[in-house]
Structures are given as structure tokens and as C-alpha cells.
Structure 1
Amino acid sequence: MFAQKLIVPAFAVIGAVAAQTTNSVCSQATATINSQADATAFASCSTISGSVVVSSAASGVISIDGPQQITGDLTCENAGGLTSFGSTSIGSIGGTFTLNNLTLLSTLSMSDLTSVKTIAWTALPALSSLTFPSTVSKATSVTISNTFLSTLDGINLDTVATLQIDNNNRLKTFSTQVSNVTSAVNINSNGNSLDVSFPNLIWAANMTLRNVSSITIPSLATINGSLGFYGNYMTNIAAPNLTSVGSTATGAGSLAFVANGKLANISMPLLKTVGGADQIANNTALTGISFPALTTVGGAIDFSGNFSTPELPALTNVKGGFNVQSTAQIDCSGFQSEAGSGKVIQGTFICKTTADATTLGSSTTSGSSSTATSTKGAAVSYGVNEGLMGLSVIGGLLQMLL
């Protein structure tokens, strides 16, 4: 009887110690994993209340199985010997999921992951694919840079603030169901044959695409800031439902098509307003320019290349200048009649056929060529963001003119 009285308290003490140990493991401010044995210590945790760091000493396979969520960050950097990383149980990460400079990491498997605050993956030269069968659909910010990934299957967001996909040379396709982008989309310097699709995207704050072979944006209606296409390989850019880019009230937000060597057609039939600049330059295959519904440009119009007379039949207000130069014969008379104080074109007017319109001249006098009947004219606001990089000559001229 006496022995039984001692045994019961002993079990109670053991249980209390075990509970305290488990609670301590699960609620550290920052827990460090050096090996799989360290990762296994979290098996009894349903939640890790803090952040987890996989140290640079970790190697081989690390799998954090048992916890369903991490409230803080999950970080793994400079672990040169790590070949496989993941979890069969983690469904959400409350902070930033960072993977950086993992030269041998070839397997990234997160079976249940659906929600992350921030994805920040850089310098993963051996990672060719993701094993995310549950699909990450919630994230505030996603940056995926300098990886060996050929696809981003497993990441399909509902909404996102910032989406940065760059320098992934093997990436062939990227498609996401995202409907709103509240800060910026930047897709830059990936594989030359990258096909990008945003089938449900309705509005975005800013959107920049470089080195892309095709873009699908059938639902896009509004860009609050700037929309730019630079150095791409697509033959066609179509935004059938786009009605506005930027804000005409503030003069912010540009629309730019620059150095897209294969671009032969731009189709934006419903576009009515551009807050800042409407710029088209150095698209060698583009022989026609038409914005049938465009009424207001808050900055200026700047077109240069080898195209016929631009068609801008609805234009009623260009707050900046008008600079149209083409190596093909264009008729400037209709545009010139709209230039001057109180007329459609309020800024400096330049319109001419040139021997080489890819290099803008410094003349501020109006010019015209005598060809077929022109269509109503149109005008580059300054303060164009990334779109004017590499076009300093154009930017410098226009700043002098306006």
C-alpha cells in the first residue's frame, strides 16, 4: 500500500517533466536544427510557437515531421551539404520561408503546406522541381530567384502583394490563379521560352515583364501603377479587357513596350486612360499602332520605330508632349492640327518620318510627311519607372521638351 502511494506521485512527476520538456521544445523563440535528430525532437509538437533555423552544419536529409504549423519563420541558409528538405505535416508558416544558397538541395517536399506569409528562395542551383501536392494558395510576398526550377507547380496563389520571379534559367511555364496583386509583379530574366499565364488577374498595382515568350492576361482590367513589357520574345500582346493604366489625376503610371524584337501586334481595344507615359520604342517587327478607345494620356505619347501612321481616333486630352518618329512614311497633319494651347496635345509636338527613328533627334520643330489621311493623334510622362532604364537619350530629350 505504501509502495503504491509512492509509485503514483513518481509517475506524476515523470509526466510533468515530460510535458515541461515538450512544451520547451515547441515554444522556443528560435529553435536550431543541426541534424535529423534535432528535427525529430519536434515530432510531438502540433505547433512550433517561434521560429526554426536549419543551420549551415545540416547535411543530407532533414524532415520536420509532426508539427502542423510554425508561427514564426522557417530559415535554411548556407547549408552546403543539405540534399533534401521538407515536412509531411506542416500546413502553415506564419513568417518567412527562407531558402538561400543551398548548392546541393535537389528535393523540396512539403506535403501539407498551403499558407506562408512570405516565400524567399534564392540561389538553389540543384532544385529542379517542387513537391507541394496540397499547393500553396496563400502568401503575401513571393520571391523565387536563381534556381534550377523548370516549373512552379505547387504554388498557385489567390492574392499576393509582391510576386518576383527572376533569373530561373530553366523555367518554362508559370501560371497562377491570382486575381489581385496589391504591390508588384516582376518577371525578369528567366528562360527564353517562358510562357506566363494570369487567367484570373483582374487588377494589379504594377506589372513588369522581361524576357518572356508569351503572356496571357485575358481578365486584366486595371493597372493602378505602371505596365511594362521590355525585351520580350512574344509576337502578340493582348489585353482585351484592360481599360486603365495609372492615374490621370496624379500623372502616375506608365504603359511601355520597349525592345520586344518579335512583337508584331498590340491589342488593347478597351484601353481608355494612361496616367503617365504611353511609350512604344524599338519594337522592330511592329508595323502598326492602334489604341481605338484611348481618350486621355496624363503624361506624353512617345512612339518610335518602323510603323505606319498611328491610329488614335478617340483621343481628347494629352497633358504632356507628343513625340512620334517612324522610319516608315507617316502623315502628321491630323496630329499637328490637335497641337497647341487649349487643344488635345498640350505639350511640345514632334511628328516626322526619319531615316532612323530608333535614335531620336534633338529638334523641337514640328515635322510631317505627305502620305495618306492621318488618324487623330496622341502623347511620355516623365517619372516613368523601370521602363525608361536603358533609354536615357529618350528620357533626356523629353525632359527638355516638356
Structure 2
Amino acid sequence: MFVKHLLPAFVAIGSVAAQSSCSSKTTTINSQDDVSKISGCRKVEGSVVLGSESGATIDLTGPREITGDLIVRNNGQIQNLQSSSLESIGGKFEINNATSLNVISFEKLTSATTVEWVSVTRLDTLTLGPLTKAKSVRLSDTFLNTLDGFALSTVTDLKLDNNRRLSKYTSELTSLDGQLVIQANGLSLEVDLPKLVWITEMAIANVTKFSIPQLQVVNGSARFDSNFFETFSAPNLTHTEDGDISFVGNGFLKNMSFPKFTDLNGGLLIANNTGLDRVTFFPKLEKVTGAIKLRGNFTEISFPSLDNVKGAVDISSTADIRKSCEKLSEFAPRSQGGDGKIEGVFTCTANNDKANEDTDQSTSGSGQVDGSDENDENSASGVVLNAALFGLVAVAAVASAL
């Protein structure tokens, strides 16, 4: 039952103005005529659902607020969805499988709890308030080339994927409490987050630029796979609270910089970044609570400030890194003849033609890294260097730190 509650009317300069709220668990809109159910209501207390055959244009002008959800699902007819009055959606603004929709215009919309647009394959025109308040945003498989309608400073989760025309994303986000996922968008996507200071998790793939000049803390993990950038810099990042950092399969990557990074409360994985020849970009790294695993074409590896690694250190390069291995062996477990700064197994392999083939992402264990000792030692054509090769005490590869 759809109920309209008229609020007390008042007289102002000879005219009578009325405000109203409409209450219904779900209001279904199957045509523009059905919008009359809510057009006279300032607030819709409940959800609004557009039917699968609602017509080419739906104008929801009238309400300023929908307390529940606004949902469009499996609608192949709608082309234009708009409202010149709606300011707030208390629940989810969901559009799913609306393959003809190419215009969304909500010029006053500034707030929604969740925005989830998936398989809106022709959407290329977007007007929002802009949207400044939302907890979760997902834009997947759209035809948008800009996200200027979103002006969020904080958000819990943000996911951008398969938006093939999106070439640039700049956001004023200062913090992100959940996950940031950016992957499989336009081949030349540049991401700029100039004010981001704190983030929980991020997974970034297929971008040509990723800028985080103010980022100080990653609470969880940061993963960068199959990107196209040549350089990566985190000039103000100091530590992770509880998670890994990984760079895997970034074929154009040549340089990285983490000048202030001191504590990694997780593991470090750098693998199959074939243009990266030096791992010297953690000058102040002191503590790693997980493992360190490096695979690549490295000619030099150094961690000059390293004081403690709780897990294994497992390194392999196609190049001759025997000098780097010798230096790092000084940190090996005491059972391997080192000073014990590394508590797990220490393994360092030079001249291994297959170094880039092993990208197993296990870096958080306190012992050996999965698949890192016997396979390398038996299959590598190069030399396995550990503390024993430098006149130190040799032990079995599975030994734990004393």
C-alpha cells in the first residue's frame, strides 16, 4: 500500500505550500506515467525499482530524497535516466545490465550509501551533483571516459574495472577504509591520488601511471600486477600495518622509490618485472614480519638498514648477483652462519635462467617461502649462494633460525 502523509501546511505571502513524504517498501516504475506515484513527494520512504521494460526515458524529478535503494536491473530499453531534484539516496544506487543506457543525469545528487553500476556498456554521459558522500562505489564495464561526477574525500571501497574508455582518474580522496581496486580499464589509464594519506588495501593493475605523493600508511596489502608504468614512487610511505607489498609482472617497470619506508608488517614480493635491474629502493627498511621473495633480472640487491626479517629471504636472478648474495648472507640465520637478522631460511641464486618463471605469491610465512629452495637449487643452471659458500656454517635448507 502506497501512503502519502501530508505535513502541516503553512501560508506564506498569500500562497500555501505543502511538503509531503511517501511511504512504501518498494515503488515500482514501469513507465514515465508511474513516476506520478512519487513526483509529489519530497521524501520517498522506501526503495524505487525500475521495471525491465520501463521505456527509453525515465525522469524521476520530484523527490529530493529516497531513503532506500534506487535500482535498475536487466533493462535493455532505458536510454536516459534523470532527475533534476534528487539529492540523496539512503541505500544503494544500483544499475545492473542496462545495456542501452547512455545518459545518467542527477544534477543535484550529492549522497548515496552505495553506488554500483555494472554492465552499463553504453554509458558515456554522466552528470552528478557532484557526488561527495558514499561508502562504496563500483563502476564496472561502462563506456565512461571521465569520472568528474564523483568528488569523494573519503570512501570505504572503490572499484573501477573494465571501463575501457577511461584514460584518467584524479580524485581528492584523503583516506580509504576498505579496498581500492583498479584493473582492466583503458590501456592508457593514469591514476592520480594527490591527497590520499591512508588506505587499507589496494590492488592496482593495467595502469600507465599511479601517483600517491602523500600516502603515509597502508593498513593492509598493496599489490601491483601487470601495470605499464616505468616508474613508481611512494615518497612519504613509512610502513604497512598488517599486509604485503607486491610487484608482479610489471614489464615496463625500471625504477622504484620508497625513501621513507621502514616497517613492512607482512611480506615483500618483487617478481617478473623484467626491466627492473636493481632492488636498492628501500634504503631505510628495517623490519619485515613476513618473508622477502625476489625474482627477476637483478644485477644488484641491497637492504642497507635491514635489522630483522621474521620469515625467509628467497632471492633469484638471471644475472650474476653473487656479490649481493655474499653481502646479504651476513644477515642469514645463525644456523646458516649469519648474524640472525633473518630468522627464516636464507637462499640466494645467481645466473638462474628460470628466475622469472616463479611468481608464487607466498610471502607471509615465518619459515621458508613455498617452492623456493629445492626447486631452484635443482633446476637452476646458475650458482646457489648461501652462507655456507662464504665459509660459514652450512645447514639443511629447511632449518629454522636459532
- TM range, normalised to the smaller chain? 0.7 to 0.9
**Cα distance, 1:100–1:400 mapped onto 2, change above 3 Å:** farther
Q: Amino acid of the residue matched to residue 229 of structure 2?
A: M
Name 1:261's counterpart in structure 2.
Answer: 251
1:112 offset after TM fit, Å? Answer: 0.1
| CA distance in structure 1 between the partners assigned to 2:41 and 2:279 by the alignment | 61
Residues 230 and 19 of structure 1: CA distance in aligned 2, closer, same or farther (over 3 Å): same
Which position in structure 1 is the counterpart of 2:91?
95
C-alpha deviations, 1:16-65, integer Å up to 9, x for none?
A: 99959x99982111111111111133222111111100111201110111
Cα separation, partners in 2 of 1:112 and 1:317, compared to 1, 3 Å: same
Query: For residues 104 and 201 of structure 1, do their structure 2 counterparts lie closer, same or farther at Cα, with a shift above 3 Å needed?
Result: same
Instruction: Tell me the TM-score normalized by structure 1.
Output: 0.83
Could you say which residue in structure 1 is the equivalent of 2:229?
234
- Aligned-pair distance for 1:153? 1.2
Measure, in 2, the Cα distance between the counterparts of 1:144 and 1:382: 35
Query: What is the deviation of 1:400?
Result: 7.4
Looking at structure 2, the residues matched to 91 and 397 of structure 1 have their Cα atoms a distance apart, in angstroms, of 60
Per-residue CA deviations over 1:47-106 (Å, capped at 9, x if unaligned) read 111110011120111011111111000001111110100210101100000001111101
Residue 130 of structure 1, CA deviation: 1.0
What is the CA deviation profile of residues 139-187 of structure 1, one whole-angstrom value per residue up to 9, with x for unaligned ones?
A: 0011111111111110121111111111111111111111111111011
Structure 2: distance between partners of 1:135 and 1:17: 30
Does residue 110 of the first structure (1) align with residue 106 of the second (2)? yes
Work out the CA distance in 2 between the residues paired with 1:396 and 1:299: 20
Secondary structure of residue in 1 paired with 2:182:
strand
CA contact (8 A) 1:83 1:105 kept: yes
Paired residue for 1:293?
284
In the alignment, the residues of structure 1 paired with residue 365 and residue 244 of structure 2 have an alpha-carbon distance, to the nearest angstrom, of: 9
* 2:185 counterpart of 1:190: yes
Pair 1:280-2:285 in alignment: no
How far residue 338 of structure 1 moved from its aligned partner, in angstroms, is: 1.3
Q: Structure 2: how far apart are the matches of 1:289 and 1:306?
A: 10
Alignment match, 2:364: 381
Q: Residues of 2 paired with 1:190 and 1:17: CA distance?
A: 45
- Which structure 2 residues correspond to residues 155-194 of structure 1 after superposition, within 5 A? 155-194=150-189
- Secondary structure (helix, strand or coil) at the match of 1:208 reads strand
- Aligned match of 1:334: 327
Cα gap change, 1:23/1:57 in structure 2, threshold over 3 Å: closer, same or farther? farther
Per-residue CA deviation, residues 322-381 of structure 1 (Å, 9 max, x unaligned), is: 1111112211111112101361111111112123121359xxxxxxxxxxxxxxxxx932
Match of 1:208 among 203, 206, 224: 203
Contact between 2:314 and 2:372, CA under 8 Å: does it hold in 1? no
Equivalent residue, structure 2, for 1:128: 124
Q: Distance in 2 between matches of 1:396 and 1:157?
A: 49
Task: Report the TM-score, using the length of structure 2 for normalisation.
Answer: 0.83
2: CA distance, partners of 1:395 / 1:381: 16
1:325 corresponds in structure 2 to 316
8 Å CA contact 1:321, 1:401 repeated in 2 = no
Q: Assess if the C-alpha contact under 8 Å between 1:246 and 1:254 holds in 2.
A: no
1:66-85 equivalent positions in 2, closer than 5 A: 66-85=62-81
Residues 1:30 and 2:26 are matched in the alignment = yes
RMSD: 2.7
**CA distance, structure 2, for counterparts of residue 180 and residue 57 of structure 1:** 40
Q: Once the 2 structures are TM-superposed, how far is the Cα of residue 397 of structure 1 from its aligned partner?
A: 7.0
Q: Provide, for residues 272-320 of structure 1, a one-character-per-residue CA deviation record: whole Å limited to 9, x for no partner.
A: 1111111100001111112001000101111110112212111000111
Question: Following the alignment from structure 1 to structure 2, what is the Cα–Cα distance between the partners of residues 396 and 162?
Answer: 41
Q: How far apart in 1 are the matches of 2:373 and 2:144?
A: 37
Q: Which has the higher strand share?
A: 2
Looking at structure 2, the residues matched to 294 and 350 of structure 1 have their Cα atoms a distance apart, in angstroms, of 19
- Asked if the contact 1:202–1:221 (Cα under 8 Å) also holds between the matched residues in 2, the reply is yes
Report SS of the residue matched to 1:205.
strand
- Where structure 2 has 5 or more consecutive residues not aligned to the other structure, the ranges are 8-17, 377-396
Percent of paired sites with the same residue: 38
Identify if the C-alpha distance between structure 1 residues 324 and 17 changes in structure 2 by more than 3 Å, giving closer, same or farther: closer
Counterparts of 1:295 and 1:397, CA distance in 2: 29
**Distance change in 2, residues 1:397/1:140 (3 Å):** farther
AA aligned opposite 1:71 = T
- Change in 2 beyond 3 A, CA 1:18/1:244: closer
Cα distance between partner residues in 2 of 1:394 and 1:90: 57
Q: For 2:62 and 2:247, how far apart are their aligned partners in 1? A: 50
Give SS of 1:209's match. strand
Alpha-carbon offset, residue 401 of structure 1: 8.3
- Counterpart-to-counterpart distance in 2, 1:349 and 1:223: 27
Contact 2:245 2:269 in 1 (8 A): yes
**Bigger shift: 391-400 or 266-275?**
391-400
